[in-house]
Amino acid sequence: MSLYVKFWGTRGSLPTPASWTRIHGGNTACVEIRTEDAIFICDAGSGIRELGKDIIQRTNAPSKIHLFLSHTHWDHIQGFPFFPPAYFEDSTIYVYGVGENDDENYKLLSGQMDSRYFPVVFSDLGAHVAPASLDPAGTEIDGVRISSFELNHPGGCHAFRFEHKGIKIIYASDQEIVPTENDVFPDSNNEGPTRELPPELVENCKDADLLIMDSQYNDEQYNTKRGWGHTSAFTATDLGVVAKARQLALFHHDPESTDAQIELLVSECRNRANRMESDTFIFAAREGIELKYKAR
Amino acid sequence: MPDMGDEIITDSQTIEMRTPYKALPRLQRQHFLDHQKGEGAPRRVSLGAHPTVLGRADHADIVIQSAQASRRHAIIHPRHGEYQLLDNNSRNGIYLNEIKVHSAILRDGDMIQIAEDVFIYREG
């Protein structure tokens, strides 16, 4: 049994279709994590539309879909009204909240399909869409253990950890790690030591096979957008290094970042990790890429 | 070969086109793999309307002469005017721009490594 991770939307804040985003993609956050038996979706940004089109063409696709919303800011829910399985009667879509009887995500997702915003109202969807609860400490769903931890983002946000037969995948979008006064920040020459990181965050990300991490800004961009809920890629790199993640996917690309700028950022982050003698492999999340993790 | 428009040179040296240059529909434009490293390189292989198999087998569309390559190692499928690279359950995997991938939608300039062989994907 293997676990597959596919990026369907990697952009933050706003869909950004442009010639200069063609490589890494312009769709907002959506990541699919699947086994042969189950489909888990992290966030319903505009990337979920292409995912939905793909699901309905698959042979033997599971009829149950598990949707985990990190939070309900627009770029994480805006694709749901265009998610084709939502219109099929034989689909069941569980919308998870974190904690017992937490149906807040379900309510906010349905609220965006009020007729004042969208012509098809939520109650007219063909699929059975239902709220479901995730125990933050962990819930077993179709052979995959899923747990959650809180992230620092305006309005609140959750990361999700997927564990299956020794594989650990962490989805941590929309997270601001605030530099401390002891950090070299901005680290314009990329010479500083690893930054101080919240110990519980490091523990939560420890030994991940793949850490999908908010890396919206470089240090200079972060300086002008403090408090907006996103992290500098250098800080994200330090988290991957300190937590000993095997792979770090820089995620939630800024809508102003061009493909060339993202590639440059990856190069700088790799230099940083190499300087720290880390084995963490760093890459930029890119639409259409699927990774496979074999059970241990 | 597309038809060239008829070119007329007027007295004022301005160029007028009697008929416009006929562009090929985007789906018919040729995309390529530039084989840059490995036995048979350098060479350019056109990607067509049918899947292209890369592997060690003699009947593969692109034969990779390496013991590290599986017989039918990878397949490149045409899909919505683009090409999708898919690992065909190979033993040693595929690297796209150094990332080990199971599948990917290819973009101009992508570097694909299978065993010791290296290819660059080019959009026409």
Using a CB-CB cut-off of 8 Å, the residues of chain B touching A292 are 87, 102
Q: In the structure, how many helices (H) and strands (E) does chain A have?
A: 6, 14
The pLDDT tens digits for A74-117 are 999 999 999 999 999 999 999 999 988 899 999 999 999 999 99
CB A159 within 8 A of CB A170: yes
Separation CA A57–CA A213 (nearest Å)? 30
Neighboring chain A residues of B99 at a CB cutoff of 8 Å: 281, 283, 289, 291
A-chain CB neighbours of B94 within 8 Å are none
Mean pLDDT, rounded, of chain A: 96
- End-to-end CA distance of chain A, in Å? 9
Identify from B77, B88, B103 which residue to disrupt to test chain A contact, counting A C-beta atoms within 10 A and taking the largest count: B103
- Interface ipTM above 0.85: yes
For the stretch B3-45, pLDDT in tens is: 444 555 555 566 666 676 777 666 667 899 999 999 999 999 9
pLDDT score at B3? 47
Confidence (pLDDT) at B81: 85
For chain B, percent of residues with pLDDT exceeding 90: 71
Cβ pair B105:A23 closer than 8 A: no
Query: Could you write out the DSSP letters of every residue in A216-257?
Result: -B-HHHHHHSTTSS--BHHHHHHHHHHTT-SEEEEESB-TT-
One pLDDT digit (tens) per residue for chain A, 296 residues: 899 999 999 999 999 999 999 999 999 999 999 999 999 999 999 999 999 999 999 988 888 999 999 999 999 999 999 999 999 999 999 999 998 889 999 999 999 999 999 999 999 999 999 999 999 899 999 999 999 999 999 999 999 999 999 999 999 999 999 999 999 999 999 999 999 999 999 999 999 999 999 999 999 999 999 999 999 999 999 999 999 999 999 999 999 999 999 999 999 999 999 999 999 999 999 999 999 999 98
| Closest chain B residue to A249, measured at CA | B99
Nearest CA in chain A to B107: A23
Look at residue A285 and give its three-state secondary structure: coil
| Nearest C-alpha neighbor of B75 from the set B100, B47, B99, B97 | B47
Cβ-Cβ contacts under 8 Å for A292 (sequence gap 6 or more): A2, A3, A4, B87, B102
User: For residue A221, with 0-12 CB atoms within 10 Å meaning exposed, 13-18 middle and 19 or more buried, which class applies?
Assistant: middle
Length of chain B: 124
In A, minimum Cα distance to B100 occurs at A291
> Which of left, alpha, beta for B40 (phi over 0: left; psi -120 to 50: alpha)?
left
Strands A64-68 vs A39-42: parallel, antiparallel or unpaired: parallel
Judging contacts by C-beta atoms under 8 Å, the chain A residues touching residue B101 are: 289-291
Residue B87 β-bridge partners: B74
Answer yes or no: do B102 and A288 touch at CB < 8 A: no
- How much is the pTM? 0.93
Domains of chain A: 2-294 (3.60.15.10)
Tell me the C-alpha distance between A196 and A208, whole Å: 19
Please judge whether A283 and B98 are an interchain contact, meaning their C-beta atoms are less than 8 angstroms apart.
Answer: yes
Phi, psi at B110, each rounded to 5°? -60, 140
% of chain A surpassing 90 pLDDT:
95
Q: Is B59 exposed, middle or buried (0-12, 13-18, 19+ CB in 10 A)?
A: exposed
Is the CB of B101 less than 8 angstroms away from the CB of A288?
no
Q: Which residues of B touch A (CB under 8 A)?
A: 84, 87, 96-105, 107
Nearest to B99 among A283, A287, A288 (CB): A283
User: Which one-letter DSSP state was computed for residue A117?
Assistant: T
Cross-strand partners of A160: A148, A171
Q: Is B51 exposed, middle or buried (0-12, 13-18, 19+ CB in 10 A)?
A: middle
Nearest Cα of chain A lies from the Cα of B38 at a distance, in angstroms, of: 25
Confidence category of residue B2, pLDDT binned at 50, 70, 90: very low
- Chain A residue numbers with beta carbons less than 8 Å from the beta carbon of B84 are 288
Q: What is the pLDDT of residue B4?
A: 47
For residue B105, the chain A residue with the least C-alpha distance is A288
Nearest to A105 by CA among A114, A94, A116, A115: A94
